[in-house]
Amino acid sequence: MTSHIMPTYNRLPVTFERGEGVWLLDEDNNRYLDALSGIAVCNLGHAHSAVHKAICEQSEKLLHTSNIYKIPNQERLADKLTEKSGMDNVFFCNSGAEANEAAIKLARKYGHEKGIENPAIIVMAKSFHGRTLATLSATGNSKIQQGFAPLVEGFVRVPYNDISAIKQAIEHNKNIVAVLVEPIQGEGGINIPATDYLNQIRSLCDEHELLMMLDEIQSGIGRTGKFLAFQYNNIIPDVCTLAKALGNGVPIGACLARGKAAQLLTAGAHGSTFGGNPLACSAALAVLATLDEENLIEQAGQKGQAICAGFIKHLQGNPHIVDIRNKGLMIGIELDSPCADLVKLALQQRLLINVTNETTIRLLPPLIIDEQQIKLLVETLSTIITDYTKKTTQETLS
């Protein structure tokens, strides 16, 4: 069949028709265990009744109005998000890239108000912040930047989890106005920094009057066992971006700000046609209520530990496993060589996974995953990994 869709994705040979909790069902009614959640989007699983009910009820009343009018659901959602995060206010948009664009603009505005003509933001190697031109430029992956030069200026890149590199960048560049960092790198390979990494960045930002900006697009909304990952560190950033799981599949993004950062964007400084419309906000409100009602955030931490313990038990002694790491239900299994073929092998076993940074299996299962499904995930994937590493070893030796 000829496709008129731009070939921007290497699509796998499967089409899903519907979802039920942790399961996706294809055209022939085969069930696949979704251990990726649409890349950290469907934290409540597929077709959750609360989200379904909320968007059905809202769609019968009103889908959209412009942001030039008051939107009650948006006000309620902003109240909930600021309450849960400790931030002061919210700008709503449609995606993570847009949320990070807002953060970048906010940092530049902050710099200009300090009299800095060419403000710069410290960003990290192996980071991912989106695919718009500015967020692509902030991202620490040269592969996805190829072909799109000239990139947007104003970013100073340093290694992740390296405080001394941030200190040096600040000392050598008087234009630095902010630090943009993921509490846990998702696309970069589920990289978990030192326990006090964020605390030290917070201290540096306070000392030098810089904005601390956290990209929680993948790690947020309960995935790590806290509502936001930075809450493990008992700090509050100046700016925090959200998207993905906020609408459980309904597109919505948010840029949260507090203190000096909260008053920078005024009327006319930024905007979004669809951002925070009644439908998207109704879905997000249902997501937040369900997380609390079903105690899913605390469970995410416990389930992540159970999954990792299972993999450690099944894969111990396998010389090709470099590391198994997690923060809640952000889970990475790093191998000693590229392993993208595992995605298709898992698909054949009706298990949906992802490989990122070439050598790391990334698992982002729904927060609703239960004990039996965890057992199935661990046993199925462990067998796939064991068979794959045995085969590649034999091929190398022959």
In angstroms, rounded to a whole number, what is the distance separating the alpha carbons of residues 313 and 382?
Answer: 10
Residue 397: pLDDT above 90? no
Contact 107, 121 (CB under 8 A): yes
Put the strands of the sheet holding 351-352 in their side by side order: 16-20, 23-26, 31-34, 351-352
Q: Sorting pLDDT into bands at 50, 70 and 90, what band is 2?
A: low
Section 239-259 average pLDDT: 98
In angstroms, rounded to a whole number, what is the distance separating the alpha carbons of residues 86 and 271?
Answer: 23
Secondary structure E strands in 258-378: 321-327, 330-335, 351-352, 354-356, 360-363
Confidence (pLDDT) at 393? 81
Confidence (pLDDT) at 375? 98
Asked if 323 is an active-site residue, the reply is no
- Beta-bridged to residue 255, according to DSSP, are 91, 241
In angstroms, rounded to a whole number, what is the distance separating the alpha carbons of residues 116 and 153?
Answer: 14
Closest Cα partner for 364 from 317, 276, 304?
Answer: 304
Confidence (pLDDT) at 87? 98
For 240, phi then psi, to 5°, come to -145, 130
Confidence (pLDDT) at 55? 98
Closest Cα partner for 220 from 203, 235, 240?
Answer: 240
> 76-100 pLDDT, tens per residue?
999 999 999 999 999 999 999 999 9
Contact 107, 119 (CB under 8 A): yes
Residue 66: pLDDT above 80? yes
Confirm whether pTM is higher than 0.85: yes
Confidence (pLDDT) at 392? 84
Token representation of residue 36: 């990726």
Q: Catalytic pick from 84, 126, 155, 215?
A: 215
Q: Catalytic pick from 92, 128, 230, 311?
A: 128
Number of helical H runs and strand E runs in the chain = 12, 15
> 180-204 pLDDT, tens per residue?
999 999 999 999 999 999 999 999 9
Section 120-137 average pLDDT: 98
Contact 361, 335 (CB under 8 A): yes
Tell me the average pLDDT of the chain. Answer: 97
Confidence (pLDDT) at 33? 98
Asked if 244 is an active-site residue, the reply is yes
Q: Sorting pLDDT into bands at 50, 70 and 90, what band is 3?
A: confident
Contact 217, 241 (CB under 8 A): yes
Residue 1: pLDDT above 70? no
Contact 367, 299 (CB under 8 A): yes
Q: Which one-letter amino acid corresponds to residue 138?
A: A
Q: Catalytic pick from 244, 303, 311, 327?
A: 244
> 336-394 pLDDT, tens per residue?
999 999 999 999 999 999 999 999 999 999 999 999 999 999 999 999 999 999 988 88
In angstroms, rounded to a whole number, what is the distance separating the alpha carbons of residues 353 and 12?
Answer: 12
Asked if 128 is an active-site residue, the reply is yes
> 144-157 pLDDT, tens per residue?
999 999 999 999 99
Q: Sorting pLDDT into bands at 50, 70 and 90, what band is 395?
A: confident
